Amino acid sequence: MSNWRRHTSLILPVVVVAALVLWPAVTGKAANRESAFTILKAVALASSLNILLGYTGYVSFGHIVFYGFGGYVGFYLLSAQSWSLWPAMAAGGLAAGLLAFLLGKAILRLRGAYFALATIGINEALKAFINNFELFGGPTGMTLNFRVYQAYGGAAKALEMSFILVAALTLVAIVVSHVVRTSKFGLGLQAIRENEDAAEIMGVAAPNAKTWAYVLSAIVPGMVGALFFFKNGNIEPHDAFPLHASIELLVMVMLGGQGTVLGPILGAFAYQGMRGYLVTSDFFKDIQLSVSGVLLLLIVLFIPAGAIGLLRRRITPLRGVLA
């Protein structure tokens, strides 16, 4: 019974994802499936980032680098080596994890703003490198031959399968986030967040723990990247490493509440929903970015703990369910 209790906080996130998966099926519109895909992708990326940002307290301004790198590796294997989607996705995740491991060994020594700056630098360096890397198509990127989709029963079937896969990856990201939060490993990470020096004195092997947190937060984005660019059919440096997307992820995590499992999910949902509304509304479509900016500023200034953080603090009984 007590074992079951620990996982009550997983109910709401799973319900949210299930609702997102069922929404296009119930309404029967293909456009809804695209929206749901975008939201699920955002949920998966934001939940992954939360492991590093929310639990460990390290601000990565270039987390999209893992999405782009995983996407490039997966895409290369799909198009040039004619691998099928499954191993290519796995390779994308593995490549992103490996990159995170190597980077983690180097840059996780930096703290605070220096770490944030280094992550920006790495994103830009890798983008500039791939721009010059002929094997990956250089500045024009790579395009997938349409025939590739035939192996999955045509383009329509492939799209449907991508949707199911992104939902599965999102679930994986959420479960990983939950498991990390409730584990002893996660407790160590949260100790690092509160005070790294004190945590080390209490016996947390901080360098190792940080590196593994970084790796864990990179694998799912790498796989999502491979999947997204498979669905997209082409990949370019500009699309794979957009710096502003990294910052949008930060906004999502902040909006919902960093360091909680549900927070990034709600944040991603709310942010993508709001953006969808603003971009299509007549009045806001031109100044969509400014409106998002004002909202972000208000959140940062007045509710830095995010929606979930605020609810947990104000309404104590909710603490069991919202975590």
Chain positions contacting another protein, by CB under 8 A: 53, 57, 59, 61, 106-107, 109-110, 112-114, 116-118, 120-122, 124-125, 127-129, 131-132, 139, 247, 250-251, 254, 286-294, 296-297, 300-301, 304
Strand partners, 142: 235
Strand partners, 235: 142
Nearer to another protein, 78 or 254 (CB): 254
CB of 118 to another protein, least distance (A): 5
Nearer to another protein, 31 or 301 (CB): 301
* Distances, alpha carbon 223 to alpha carbons 44, 58, 61, 100, in Å: 10, 22, 20, 14
Nearer to another protein, 24 or 306 (CB): 306
Give Rg (Cα) of the chain: 19
- The first and second tokens of residue 224, run together, are 């999502």
CB of 234 to another protein, least distance (A): 20
Task: Count CB atoms within 10 A of the CB of residue 161.
Answer: 17
Nearer to another protein, 107 or 240 (CB): 107
CB of 122 to another protein, least distance (A): 6
CB of 129 to another protein, least distance (A): 5
Task: Count CB atoms within 10 A of the CB of residue 150.
Answer: 12
Nearer to another protein, 213 or 250 (CB): 250
Rounded distance, CA 119 to CA 62, Å?
Answer: 5
CB of 241 to another protein, least distance (A): 11
Nearer to another protein, 153 or 293 (CB): 293
CB of 299 to another protein, least distance (A): 8
Rounded distance, CA 253 to CA 269, Å?
Answer: 10
Tokens 């005070």 belong to: 195
Nearer to another protein, 170 or 260 (CB): 260
CB of 242 to another protein, least distance (A): 12
Nearer to another protein, 187 or 299 (CB): 299
CB of 140 to another protein, least distance (A): 12
CA–CA–CA angle 61, 66, 71 (5° rounding): 135
CB of 179 to another protein, least distance (A): 24
Nearer to another protein, 12 or 310 (CB): 310
